[in-house]
Structure 1
Amino acid sequence: MPDKNPATDTLTQLRAGELAGARQLHIAGGLTTFPREILSLADTLEILDLSGNALTELPADFDRLHRLRILFLSFNAFDHIPDVLGRCPALTMLGMKANAIERVSGASLAPTLQWLTLTDNRIAALPAEIGNCTGLRKLLLAGNRLTALPDTLAQCQEIELMRLSANRLEALPSWLHALPRLAWLAVAGNPVFAAEEAAGRANDVPVHVDWDRIDVQEKLGEGASGVIYRGEWAQTAADTPKPVAIKLFKGAVTSDGLPQNEMAACIAGSGHASLIPVHARIDNHPDRTEGLVLALIDSSLGNLADPPSFASCTRDVYAPGQRLTLAAALRVARGIADAARHLHARGIMHGDLYAHNILYADDGRAFLGDFGAASFYDATEEAYGRIEVRAFGLLLEELLALACHERDASPAEFAILDGLQERCISEDRDSRPAFAEIVAALDDVVTSLSQRPTLARPSP
């Protein structure tokens, strides 16, 4: 008996009126034409996911979905963005990753957009009208054929995250790193920094290990760029095998960029206490998969936060009631700031300096991971480093919020940290401190906190 098609079941429910009043709808399963039954939900539908089909067009009256806020059309067969989407009055998020899009007309971009994902397409140029999307906060364009960016994008002053990796950009416009709120930028895999990338890739790990000498065990996790396993490895036949983490890269374009750029940056940036050590590069995988042998991090450490949600857009999501002591928050902040200083000194911008990419313990031990958005750049161009300072400032704001229950007990330290945080997120890029200055300021606060007399406990 053949497997049931979920798409067919959903359409049957629609036609029977069983989904009347639905606010969300997901149909995946080989659709080649848009099911007009969806338009019957015009007065309620807010989120529509038609990813994983074979759609090439939308109906001219698609904008009847006047409450639609979020639309996913990824992994379809569109060669353009339908113009009707520009007329959708409430559309704030559009995802059309991995289609075959070559044309983007000015009419297709709703001015209400805040989050636009066009990763892994064939786009050679963006229309000037994208500058009308003045509320745009996230723009993901990795894996296209862009040779330039329209100057009108400078009007999008709310942009916080931009992915431009794996394009054909020979230069980056001066207005890009002057965008006042830009905090997370990825530009790897473009000709503009080809020399820096070549130099970075030359910094390979000295140890290469044959795939047959690795004992791969259970899967620990999976991200956009690869899969991580627990394993064992001995550098020589005489060594006792030790527990390690093994990351195997998928080799496809992710929303951040190309996995080979991630691997190069991870290798070149290693050597700091708050970065996960890289032990070896894996050779001779039977499927020619690239991979790394990494230190296995204590399983008691967990992610500091979850990635941004639809609602938070660019800001991480923390567990309800989550707390840190001020001392632990400072230890996290200091470790991550110094790791960023270390990377920038090597001409590497992490590009995704977020709490969800930090493994931490309650005592403040922390490791910055996930180099998927990392880029090599000319370290003498301080403008790029100051972009990442803003990302750190937003992280510091969140860390201080986790420790806010200690504000009354440490007013002087919080006053200094609040001032530092405000400088880091300044919309005047040139007024932001460099990471070396940030680390020094955090060290001063750590010293101040350690020198405070401990209150004597009352006698039992």
Structure 2
Amino acid sequence: MTTLAQLKAGQLAGATRLDLACGLTEFPREIFELADSLEILNLTGNALTSLPADLHRLTHLRVLFCSDNAFTELPECLGQCAKLSMIGFKANRISHVPAAALPPQLRWLILTDNSISQLPDELGQRPLLQKLMLAGNQLTHLPPSLANCANLELIRIASNRLTHLPDWLLTLPSLTWLAYAGNPVEMAVTVTGDDGTPNIPWSELELGEVLGEGASGIIHKAIWKPQALPVAVKLYKGTITSDGSPQHEMHACIAAGLHPNLIKVQGRVIGHPQGQAALVMSLIDPSYRNLAALPSLVSCTRDIYEPDTRFSLDVALRMARGIASVAAHLHLQGITHGDLYGHNILWNATGDCLLADFGAASFHATTDTLESRALQRIEVRAFGVLLGELLERGEGAVSEDLIELQKSCCQPDVLARPSFEEIEGVLSSI
């Protein structure tokens, strides 16, 4: 993290990225001295309420992060920034989004955890829009103009006030990852103590090292003392994430049930001293590792794989079968995962795999309706993207059947895509 003193001393000439988190209440004018080079500006974690009207003087600015500040309105000056494509204003106090604040090259907009009840119709006039993150607001509807956004692939609208999913949303040709839990539209599914999931007293757990941390919680290695069993304990945070509510994630984990390609839930923690929600889960064998890394600022909606990642076609096919099987299982339970991605898949050298992270999961009707069918086929496109990534890294000749399956999963006509049951049939025949 650079310092304000370095900026004011002129020591950052030529910098392409600037990160400042030092309690700023005003935009430092010295930033304009970097106008010839600055591409990424991160002002997250300050106390800003406004940006300068001449922000467009930063002619190379592509990415702007202003999360965890005190903005009540998305600044109109953003709309004048010719190259600005990624905007992040998570966890402010924003209630108003003016049309003038939307730059022409807008590709990725993050307005998670604010107080927005309405979005301008002009949002649908940004043809490059690919990623839209709106969880934790007060939206009762979405602008119908978003139907024009043919490139829109990821939408997070969890924890709002939507009473229905508009028809156009379910027909967007590129929509791949959708999270809408915690809205009135979501089918009411209550996970209670009667669901068969054991309650595990906090006093029976001995926490050890941290295995990982995500937006929704922290995972510890632990011992379940009465059984002397090594387990993993996920302690959920209470704040809204970019995907939605951690509480909804926990409910989806439990409702998902048992499947060979899911991490088994051992029980629900009770009696935590601070009342924190937590789950006890089976400990994953250390031979498993993440299939991919999160998307980058450049890739936007596409995972990042290590350059030397390669699979035999047998291993790639084994993983594809496993993920298709678990997705079919979830859909039968009325659950869409919402984040079916390589970075949420754990795998080992033989192609065994586990689908993890239910932070973007949503519930839908288990009956066969046009809506439930469309919601499931949106997730099929996510599988198609994943299958393409596996095949690109496969060693050996790929069968025409696999190539055609991948194309079918990603075709723009949502309801023409196969179901996961049909996908399983094709994969089992290869």
TM-score, L = length of structure 2: 0.97
The one-letter code sitting in structure 1 at the alignment partner of 2:396 is E
Structure 1 contact 204–264 (Cα < 8 Å) conserved: no
Q: Larger Rg: 1 or 2?
A: 1
SS of 1:192's equivalent in the other structure is: coil
Deviation at residue 204 of structure 1 after TM alignment: 3.2
Provide structure 1 residue ranges, at least 5 long, that are not aligned to the other structure.
1-5, 446-460
- After TM superposition, the structure 1 = structure 2 runs for residues 418-437 of structure 1, keeping only pairs within 5 Å, are 418-437=403-422
2:250 matched to 1:263? Answer: yes
CA distance in 2, matches of 1:435, 1:422: 14
Residue 169 of structure 2 corresponds to: 176
- After TM superposition, the structure 1 = structure 2 runs for residues 29-428 of structure 1, keeping only pairs within 5 Å, are 29-195=22-188, 197-198=189-190, 204-234=195-225, 237=226, 240-379=227-366, 380=368, 381-403=372-394, 405-407=395-397, 411=398, 414-428=399-413
Count of residues in correspondence between the two structures: 426
Q: Residues 205 and 44 (structure 1 numbering): CA distance in 2 closer, same or farther, change over 3 Å?
A: farther
Structure 2 contact 197–254 (Cα < 8 Å) conserved: no
Q: For each residue in 1:365-419, what CA deviation from the matched residue of structure 2 results, as whole angstroms up to 9, or x when unmatched?
A: 000000000000113320100000000000000111121x311xxx5xx211001
Deviation at residue 206 of structure 1 after TM alignment: 2.8
Structure 1 contact 11–37 (Cα < 8 Å) conserved: no
Structure 1 contact 201–268 (Cα < 8 Å) conserved: no
Q: Residues 202 and 395 (structure 1 numbering): CA distance in 2 closer, same or farther, change over 3 Å?
A: farther
The one-letter code sitting in structure 1 at the alignment partner of 2:340 is L
The one-letter code sitting in structure 1 at the alignment partner of 2:421 is A
CA distance in 2, matches of 1:371, 1:256: 9
CA distance in 2, matches of 1:206, 1:312: 39
CA distance in 2, matches of 1:102, 1:194: 27
Q: Residues 416 and 202 (structure 1 numbering): CA distance in 2 closer, same or farther, change over 3 Å?
A: farther
Deviation at residue 349 of structure 1 after TM alignment: 0.3
RMSD of the alignment, in Å? Answer: 1.2
The one-letter code sitting in structure 2 at the alignment partner of 1:389 is V
Deviation at residue 232 of structure 1 after TM alignment: 1.1
Deviation at residue 205 of structure 1 after TM alignment: 4.0
Q: For each residue in 1:200-245, what CA deviation from the matched residue of structure 2 results, as whole angstroms up to 9, or x when unmatched?
A: 56773431011001111111000000000111115xx4xx411111
Provide structure 2 residue ranges, at least 5 long, that are not aligned to the other structure.
none
Q: For each residue in 1:59-109, what CA deviation from the matched residue of structure 2 results, as whole angstroms up to 9, or x when unmatched?
A: 111111111000000000000001000110000100000000000011111
Deviation at residue 162 of structure 1 after TM alignment: 0.4
Residue 449 of structure 1 corresponds to: none
- After TM superposition, the structure 1 = structure 2 runs for residues 1-20 of structure 1, keeping only pairs within 5 Å, are 10-20=3-13
Structure 2 contact 129–149 (Cα < 8 Å) conserved: yes
Residue 21 of structure 2 corresponds to: 28
The one-letter code sitting in structure 2 at the alignment partner of 1:436 is E
Q: Percent identity, please.
A: 53
